[in-house]
Amino acid sequence: MTGLEDLYKEVILDHYRSPRNKGELPTPPAIMEEGFNPLCGDDVKVYVILEDKVIKEIRIGGQGCSISQASASMMTESVLGKTLDEAKEVFERFKKMMSSHENDLNSAESSLDETPSSLGDLEALKGVVKYPVRIKCATLGWNTFDQIIDSVEN
């Protein structure tokens, strides 16, 4: 079977099958935000406990497809223990990787190569940019997490 290997990389399937930091946290002390993907009905709940703007704990609830679940799972790993500013910086880099298609779908391949190679597991999600609909899946957890950052900062 050709073509889907880019999307369903082994690391993605692994995060999907064994999601990290799955569950809930009591609110308070945790902050919770919920996100919807109106296209497919998936929803995600992100719970975060902050201490001095450092992400001490994070959990993911809700349900979704392999891409949204794996991406959220990877997100938890990449931001846990980081400050909000650091987390935001990771998000920015991730968003950049995910939006390379928006500029030009056809030149996606080339712009992919320019993505900074420091996103760890998250880089496995590169292949998603070829499937515009799935970008929404991959960014759902992140955008929900971003709402938490927003609510803390304002």
User: Is residue 11 within 8 Å of residue 124, measured between CB atoms?
Assistant: yes
Distance from C-alpha of 53 to C-alpha of 88, rounded to nearest angstrom: 12
Window of 23-31, 83-91, 114-122, 132-140 that interacts with other proteins by CB under 8 A? 132-140
| The binder of other proteins chosen from 26, 38, 85, 116 (CB under 8 A) | 38
Q: Which of 122, 131, 11, 31 is nearest to 84 (CA)?
A: 31
| The binder of other proteins chosen from 66, 83, 115, 147 (CB under 8 A) | 66
User: Closer CB to other proteins, residue 25 or residue 138?
Assistant: 138
Alpha helices in the chain (DSSP H): 10-17, 66-79, 84-103, 108-113, 132-153
Q: Is 106 a residue that touches other proteins (CB under 8 A)?
A: no
User: Is residue 129 within 8 Å of residue 101, measured between CB atoms?
Assistant: yes
User: Closer CB to other proteins, residue 1 or residue 85?
Assistant: 1
User: Is residue 71 within 8 Å of residue 19, measured between CB atoms?
Assistant: no
| The binder of other proteins chosen from 65, 80, 108, 112 (CB under 8 A) | 65
| The binder of other proteins chosen from 18, 24, 29, 39 (CB under 8 A) | 39
Q: Is 116 a residue that touches other proteins (CB under 8 A)?
A: no
User: Is residue 58 within 8 Å of residue 46, measured between CB atoms?
Assistant: yes
- To other proteins, the closest distance from the beta carbon of 144 in angstroms equals 12
| Interacting residues toward other proteins by CB under 8 A | 1, 3-4, 7-8, 13, 36, 38-43, 63-67, 69, 105, 131-134, 137
